[in-house]
Amino acid sequence: GAVVSQHPSWVICKSGTSVKIECRSLDFQATTMFWYRQFPKQSLMLMATSNEGSKATYEQGVEKDKFLINHASLTLSTLTVTSAHPEDSSFYICSARDPGAGTETQYFGPGTRLLVL
Partner 1 sequence: GDSVTQMEGPVTLSEEAFLTINCTYTATGYPSLFWYVQYPGEGLQLLLKATKADDKGSNKGFEATYRKETTSFHLEKGSVQVSDSAVYFCALKETSGSRLTFGEGTQLTVNP
Write each residue from 42 to 81 as x if it is in contact with partner 1 (CB under 8 A), else as -, in one continuous string: xxx-x--x--------------------------------
Please answer whether residues 106 and 95 qualify as being in contact, where contact means their C-beta atoms are separated by less than 8 angstroms.
Answer: yes
**How deeply is 91 buried, as exposed, middle or buried, from its count of CB atoms within 10 A (0-12, 13-18, 19+)?**
middle
Kindly provide the b/e burial profile for residues 30-51, where b requires at least 16 CB atoms within 10 angstroms of the residue's own CB. bbbbbbbbeeeeeebeebbbbb
**Residues 12-41 close enough to bind partner 1 by CB under 8 A:** 32, 34, 41
Q: Which stretch binds partner 1 (CB under 8 A): 10-18, 62-70, 73-81, 92-100?
A: 92-100
What is the total count of residues that contact partner 1 (CB under 8 A)?
23
Binding positions for partner 1, rule: CB under 8 A: 1, 4, 6, 32, 34, 41-44, 46, 49, 93, 95, 97, 103-111
